[in-house]
Structure 1
Amino acid sequence: MRPRFLSKYILKCPRCGFETEASPYVMRCPRCGELLDALLIADRVRLNWGGLRGRGVWRYRELLPEPGNTVTMGEGATPLIRLRGHGNAYVKFEGANPTGSFKDRGMTVGVSLALSIGVKGVIVASTGNTAASAAAYAARAGLECLVVLPKGGVAKGKLGQAMLHGAKIAEVPGTFDNALEYVLEAVLSDGRVNNVNYYPLNSINPWRLEGQKTIAYEIVEEIGVPDYVFVPVGNGGNIYAIWKGFRELVDFGVIDRVPKMIGVQASGAAPMVRYWRGLGEARIDNPRTVASAIRIGRPINWFRAYRAVKYSGGEFIEVSDDEILMAQRMLGREGIGVEPASAASLAGYLKALGEGMVDAGDKVVLIATGHALKDPDTLLMNSNVNMVSVSSLDELRSLIVAQEPGI
């Protein structure tokens, strides 16, 4: 039976067209195995776009599942910052969320749903940000949290967050892809949740993605419809969610077009680029990149991400680790501190500018998915500002002169 808070949704397979009533437990199509989309039923939505109240993710509650027990820490309403020297380019700084990444948007919805259906806890595989967010929101809800991580593959800042919030942590050999396989085998059977204790909140879960689509809503409220949105792509759920948000606003008559979605991957972890170019399946073995948050070789949401880019008239592009690190430094010099995966969006934009894919006058939004403090080791490695020791006031005074800033 469909919970009342999902009554304005159906689940539909984008591949074979199968439809079923909305359920928190059904993730895959029983006919073809594809991940199901959560679609709003238009005549059950009472949207007054000009009369929205509140702020953050739940400002858009008419377009979201509405469990009775809302677990929130004020996520969303993140800054949209105009870049110097690129007059029409903006950074959507998701590092300003409570645990420092865009995952909080999804977790406020996902954990609220988990609490409402009465499970004991939540379970996720993670490259780090999902673990940190799930652990924090589960703690807030009074639920347990089990995170499954690739051994040695998670940045210290993110691992520390999950530990701080009391998560149970299991490390597995291999990559994130292996960790996700463990989780899905443990809690799903034939695409349905089979575990009454731990509810899965990876991006296979369409209800978590509903929270993430609010990025699109906030962009539209602040600057209207951009021409392009650049999104770092790892598991592929976020670019789909953002595209879905724009698509819904078209369907409800709020906007008249969807921006072109540009998926950016690191060259050493670019299965979507491989598939987009017709070079094989959307999977690679042993993904490698300094951007650990997008170090994923077998994106579970590959078909969702593909549809977002294809149907928006966008593109998948790849950037090198050197380009990512340079972009991280550039953003840092503008006061915007992001982890490497976030900087991939700027690196992709600069590459697209250089290749003529976009024009300097185009209105562009770059999604910066996580805060710089998520990965302190890379942050320190990528800084070329020299520290000096001073032992006297005169030595300190000698430093107080006009100098060229480091780059």
Structure 2
Amino acid sequence: MAQSPSAGTLPDISGIDLSDNEFWKLPLEDRHAAFARLRSHPPQFYAEPDMGPLPPGPGYHALVTHADVAEASREPGAFASEPSAVSIPDMPADFAEYFGSMINLDDPRHARLRRIVSRGFTPRMLARLQEDVQRHAARIVDDLLATGPCDFVSQVAARLPLVVICEMMGIPEDRHREVLESSNVVLAGNDPEYLGSDPGTAMARLLEAGESLSRLLAELAAQRRAEPTSDLTSALVNANVDGEALTDQELGSFFTLLAVAGNETTRNAISHGLRLITEHPEQRGLWWSDFEAHAPGAVEEIVRHASPVVWMRRTLTRDYELNGHRLSAGDKALLFYASANRDAAVFDDPDAFDITRKPNPHLGFGGPGPHFCLGAHLARREVTVMFRELHRRVPGIRAAARPKRLASSFVNGIKSLPCTF
């Protein structure tokens, strides 16, 4: 493993501002080079980005090493998810109604919600989904072969997680497009294609997207209370765990989380996967030579290398010494998974894409602790099944141009990626 430089040889980090939107427009290799320099320093403190109508906050510490991110994840009592894990500024009350899901909560409320909704992600439930995931992947490839070279994101990567999540919840097919468009807005970051260029308009569109998803689930929940079925919505609205059930607000915010996290992040993992095997044909050749043997390692390496979720926020509940650095109660901290996953103190040749990497203790599904991604097993299964179907039926598929990237600091998103085969 690489050794940290001595104090007298620390690389220059002047000019690196993680709160500057221009930083997130840089090429990926430039961003990763900047994070490599930051990892040699103590956690840096940044002013908060300009969020238009929201008042500026006090700023935040950027945690960029694997050790710092992992420790903060393991200490939820000190690094709290409340009042927000997904927004640098504190969210206004009307936003919290729609986006205040369990990802933004701490125990005991987080544990209560996770206990209820986890019944939809048991091994038995996931095993039942296997046949559905395979069926949908096969249909997507049928359409791909009929269409020919196209945009891989819209025609392949975005479709599988969307239909799987919607069918899990029992969302009618004629409402799937609404879910996709709303989730695109929720995770749009600073991208004017989805939010417009005016900050006030952007906030309004975010609120409208949250309202749309919550309203959709409220309608469906009412139907399932009257006539239960076998879908996840029925299980959740009729759940009673230790005398507790989800309220309508909790159900709506959970669906927003599921639609956004389960749809957008998995689609980006699949999109980055095609980009990576195109840019690294020797790794594609190795994977394709024995798909099943290499699939688990390939999926983990795609998630590590791409890091679809770039960061999550925590707020210090008390003074804390983090690997020799003092943080104060009330401070905000951003856990940069994208940087932790390239830490040379943990990963040999961290910028390389290596599907045989072992061990691979990446934090692409979040760090250790109570907020580790509930849908990690489902995401792994979807990525595996999609690439298995492509390997079997379209083995020569590759990216035909550079991806069009999402302008966001929060999600390493790909909006479009032309493919050919």
> Fold conserved (TM > 0.5)?
no
Scaled by the length of structure 1, the TM-score of the pair is 0.29
Q: Which has the higher strand share?
A: 1
Q: Which has the higher helix share?
A: 2
Scaled by the length of structure 2, the TM-score of the pair is 0.29
